[in-house]
Structures are given as C-alpha cells and as structure tokens.
Amino acid sequence: MNKKFAGHRIYVSGPMSNIPNYNHSAFFEMEKRLLENHRCTVLNPAHVTDRHISKYHGKLKDKQELYREYIRHDIALIFSATAIVMLHGWQCSKGAVAELSVAKALDLAVFHQEDV
C-alpha cells in the first residue's frame, strides 16, 4: 500500500468525449487499482452517466447543454475530493483540463495514472 494515497478522497479525471463507451474501462480500472491497493475513497465520474443526469433529459436543448450538466456535476465532486488522479490523455480533454484547474485552485494533491 502506498501511503501517499491513504485517507484521500481521490477524483479520477480523464478523457471521455469521443472515446468508445466514454472511456469508462479506464476509469473503472483506475478505481479498482485505487481501492485494491490503497486506503482511500474514489470519486469516479464514470458512475455519473445518465442515472444522475436523467432528470435533465427532455428538458435540455442540445448535446452541449447536456455536456455542461455533466461538467457541473463532476466539478461538484471535485469540491469534496482531497486529491485528483489524471488518466492518460487528459491533456486532450477540455473537461479534464478544467477539472485539473479546479483541483489546483483548491490545492488538492495531484497524481497521474503512472503514480498509482
């Protein structure tokens, strides 16, 4: 067990848009690694999907508005985190770049996929 992760509430950030199945396999694999190897809580936005946002379906005007609702929900999760882990490819995701910016503004610990 790596003690640098112990006790953290870790938000998993990475690219989702334009990736098959929204890259959920990478998010769930990171969640599994964190839970199996470290004493921490994982905040995984791959769990958010339509189950959480469904109250907006039918009320949103377009795909961009739906995207904004996902980002709002994900940013709210970051506010309850103490650390963020960035999956490979995060630099190409405007959402992940924004999430990292919020995490840095909140002075959260920042880790990358290879650190886990």
SS3 for 110?
A: strand
Average pLDDT, the chain: 89
Closest CA to 33 of 106, 104, 95, 112: 112
Tell me the mean pLDDT in the region 34-57: 79
pLDDT of residue 66: 78
Length of the chain equals: 116
Domain boundaries, the chain: 23-95+105-115
Query: The pTM is what?
Result: 0.89
Q: In the predicted model, is pLDDT for residue 77 greater than 70?
A: yes
Model confidence band, residue 61 (pLDDT cutoffs 50, 70, 90): low
- Six-digit token pair at 88? 């490979």
